[in-house]
Chains A and B, each alone.
Chain A
Amino acid sequence: EVQLVESGGGLVQPGGSLRLSCAASGFTFSNYWMIWVRQAPGKGLEWVANIKKDGSETYYMDSVKGRFTISRDNAKNLLYVEINGLRVDDTAVYYCGRINYYYYMDVWGKGTTVTVSS
């Protein structure tokens, strides 16, 4: 079964750091671009970052550049996002997704919740 499972979320104080993980199974992870998407409370889905199959290219939304780092370990079938300098407006459910043909996400995880609060 093709599956993505996120982990690593939690309650963090403003300015803190977290590393979110996404474990992939049921498909050849190294053949796919991957993506992180988030959903703030009461808001819609928002693209955060994406990464090429081999990790050689990464792209970020403007508001997270310099604070978020997306990476992957193809040997372990793991996708990561390292988040530094957390802000209250980073509070969201973070989803990882598998990108198909570069333009859409055909597999999603159930998400992990990040809450930034003092």
Chain B
Amino acid sequence: QSVLTQPPSVSGAPGQRVTISCTGSSSNIGARYDVHWYQHLPGTAPKLLIYDTTNRPSGVPDRFSASKSGTSAFLAITGLQAEDEADYYCQSYDSGGFYVFGTGTKVTVL
């Protein structure tokens, strides 16, 4: 089964804005399936950050926002904070009948 492609790493200074891309195909993101984002620290449970492409669960700061265009999706973190240092994964559904995850992006706060 296919995966969604993310940059391996992005970095920024505290207070800056960083963006993570997530590129899929016509059978997942391009097929109008929503994209969801997770924050993951090693050894802990992944945390739902964004669901249904643009929505934040209760408790997620509005510094996190997301969008989608064509076969790609984007997660933006504005006002970067030290606590945002983690791995981030996008996820969607594929018309082949399976869940597909991104390759993961490590966010480093300089």
Count of residues in B whose CB is under 8 Å from the partner chain: 28
Contacts of A46 in B (CB 8 A): 101
Of the listed residues B3, B34, B57, B99, the one surrounded by the most CB atoms of chain A closer than 10 A to its CB is: B99
Residues facing A in B77-110 (CB within 8 A) are 89, 91-93, 97-104
Is there a chain B Cβ closer than 8 Å to A106's Cβ?
yes
Measured between alpha carbons, how far is A44 from B99 in the docked complex, in Å?
Answer: 13
Binary interface encoding of chain A residues 69-107 relative to chain B, with 1 for a CB under 8 A from any of its CBs, else 0 = 000000000000000000000000001010011111111
Residues of chain A contacted by B92 (CB below 8 angstroms): 103
Question: CA separation between A97 and B1, bound complex, in Å?
Answer: 19
**Alpha-carbon gap, A46 to B44, bound state (A):** 16
Say whether A108 contacts B47, CB under 8 Å: yes
On whether the beta carbons of B45 and A103 are closer than 8 Å, the reply is no
Q: What chain B residues lie within 8 Å of A55 (beta carbons)?
A: none
- In the assembled complex, 29 residue pairs joining A and B whose CB atoms fall closer than 8 Å, in A order, are A4-B45, A35-B99, A44-B101, A45-B101, A46-B101, A47-B1, A47-B99, A50-B99, A59-B97, A61-B98, A62-B1, A95-B45, A97-B46, A103-B33, A103-B34, A104-B34, A104-B36, A104-B48, A104-B52, A104-B91, A105-B38, A105-B48, A106-B48, A108-B45, A108-B46, A108-B47, A110-B43, A110-B44, A111-B45
